Chains A and B, each alone.
Chain A
C-alpha cells in the first residue's frame, strides 16, 4: 500500500526533524512486510498499525492515518531514547534566557496555558518534551508532537533550568522538591510503552538520574503570565 497523501502530510509535519543527524534512521511507510528472516529489535502494534524497528531502520505497516503514525513514532522514540540517556515527558517546554523551563502535569494542568502565555517563538512544545543527558548536562528538545497549541515544531534545544509541576492556584508560588518527589512527578507523565523488564529498568535508571540532577519544583500559578516572576533564574 502506498498512500501519497499520508506520506505528504507526514513529510511536512516532520520535515524540521529529519535532517539534523549524522546518522539518520531510514523509515519505510506502508511498503509491505520485510523478509521474515530480518531480526526485529523492537515491535509494537497500535490499532492495527504495526511498528517494527530493525538495525537498518524502522518500518510502519498498516498505518491508516496521521494519528496512528504519530502515536507509533512517539513509541519508537521513547524506546530509542533509552540508549541515549533520554525520555519523553508530557510537558510544555519554554525557552527563557537560553534555558529550558519544563512544565509538566496531567491533562488540564495548564501546559497549553503556559505555552499560550509565553512569548512567540519561545515555546519548544506544548505537549511532549524530550529530555536528554549529554556530556553531563540535561537538555530539553522540541518534538514534532504538539497538542492544542498547533504551532510548528521547533527542532532546537537548550539546557534545562528546571522541571515545574503545574498546580493552578490563586497565587504564584514555587516550592522546591526533593529528588524522590521529582521522580514521583516524572513517572506518571513519562511516555513509555514497553512491558519488558530490562527496558523498564533502564528507564527507571534514567529517570532517577534526572530526579537527582535536575532542579524540580511545585509551581502554583495563576492563569496569567505573572508566574514567570516567581521562577528561579
Chain B
C-alpha cells in the first residue's frame, strides 16, 4: 500500500551522500552500505527537504522531465517507496498528530 501523496518526506538524517555526474551516492555509516540513485532519483533526492509532499515533488518532476502529471506522480511515489524501504527517506510526522 502506498503512502498518501500529501505526506511530506525528509532525507534520513543519519546518511552521508555526494552527487557526481547527475547521479547520487549515499552511504549509511552504521552498516557501510552504499546506495546509488540515477538521474531521476537524484533529482528527487535534491528536492526532498522535509517540506515537500510526494504530490509537490511530482509537480517538479513533471516540469523538469517532460512527463505527464499522472506518470510523474506514480514514478515519484514508486521512487519514494523504494527509498523508504532502503531507509534513505522517512515521512515527516504531521504536527500534533501521529504518523501512520
Determine the residue in chain B with the shortest Cβ distance to A196: B29
Q: Given the complex of chains A and B, what is the CA–CA distance between A203 and B25 in angstroms?
A: 12
Q: How many residues of B contact A (CB 8 A)?
A: 15
B30 on the A face (CB < 8 A): yes
Q: Is B66 an interface residue (CB 8 A)?
A: no
Are A195 and B21 closer than 8 Å at their CB atoms?
no
Query: A212–B29 contact, CB under 8 A?
Result: no
Residue of B14, B15, B17, B20 contacting most chain A CB atoms (<10 Å) = B20
Q: Does A116 contact B (CB under 8 A)?
A: no
With A187-B34, A195-B30 known to touch, is A212 a contact of B20 (CB < 8 Å)?
A: yes
Interface SS majority for chain B: strand
Nearest A residue to B31 via CB reads: A195
**B14:A204 contact, CB within 8 angstroms:** no
Which residue from A178, A184, A204, A211 sits with its C-beta under 8 Å from B27?
A204
Contact assessment for A204 and B23 in the assembled complex, using a CB-CB cutoff below 8 Å: no
State A205–B19 Cα separation when bound (angstroms). 10
Task: Indicate if A200 sits at the interface (CB-CB under 8 A).
Answer: yes
Per DSSP, chain A at the interface is helix
Q: Which of A179, A188, A201 gathers the greatest number of chain B CB atoms within 10 Å? A: A201
A-B contact pairs, 24 of them (CB 8 A): A178-B21, A179-B20, A180-B25, A183-B18, A183-B20, A184-B36, A187-B25, A187-B27, A188-B34, A192-B32, A195-B30, A196-B29, A197-B16, A197-B29, A199-B29, A203-B16, A204-B16, A204-B17, A204-B18, A204-B25, A205-B18, A207-B18, A208-B20, A208-B25
> Chain A: residues with CB nearer than 8 A to chain B?
178-180, 183-184, 187-188, 192, 194-197, 199-201, 203-205, 207-208, 211-212
Give the top 5 A-B pairs by smallest Cβ distance, nearest first: A200-B29, A201-B16, A180-B21, A200-B16, A208-B18
